[in-house]
């Protein structure tokens, strides 16, 4: 019956990436954990994947804090261009 769970490393790592966003299905998670029992390399991959996710999380928080916008000067320029266009 285990052949239902048998997947390649490529599929396993895709599921692993998906589960980083909490969007892998139950079936996929079962497939993945079965694969992780037999594949050391993918265990390492998923460990490191988690670390990368942590770093990306930091980056994402960082991005939300500073949102670059139009400066005053740019807005004035834009207004002038629009006026000329009319």
Partner 1 sequence: MSQSNPPNILFPDKWVDNYADYLFNYAIARVNNSNIAKDLVQETFFAGLKSAKNFEGKSSERTWLVSILKRKIIDYYRKINSKKGQAEIRMNFYDSGDNEGNWIEERVPQSWNNEAEKNIENEELKNQLDKCIDSLPEKYAMVFKMKTIQQFETEDICKELNITPSNLWVMIHRARTQLRNCMEQNWFNK
Write out the residues near partner 1 by the rule CB under 8 A.
7-11, 13-14, 17-18, 20-21, 23, 41, 44-45, 48-49, 51-52, 54-56, 58-60, 62-63, 67-70, 74-75, 78-79, 81-83, 85-86
Q: How far is the CB of 1 from partner 1 (least distance, A)?
A: 21
Residue 18 or 30 having the CB closest to partner 1: 18
CA–centroid distance for 60 within its chain = 10
Residue with tokens 């980056």: 59
What are the distances in angstroms from CA 10 to CA 3, 6, 62, 63? 17, 12, 31, 31
Q: How far is the CB of 5 from partner 1 (least distance, A)?
A: 15
| DSSP label at residue 9 | H
| 65 phi/psi in degrees, rounded to 5 | -70, -50
Q: How far is the CB of 72 from partner 1 (least distance, A)?
A: 11
């Amino acid at each position: 019956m285990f052949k239902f769970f048998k997947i390649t490393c490529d599929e396993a790592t895709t599921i692993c990436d998906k589960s980083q966003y909490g969007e892998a299905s139950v079936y996929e998670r079962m497939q993945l954990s079965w694969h992780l029992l037999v594949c050391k390399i993918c265990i390492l991959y998923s460990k490191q994947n988690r670390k990368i996710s942590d770093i990306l999380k930091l980056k994402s928080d960082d991005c939300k804090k500073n949102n670059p916008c139009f400066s005053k000067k740019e807005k004035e320029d834009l207004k002038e261009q629009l006026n000329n266009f009319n």
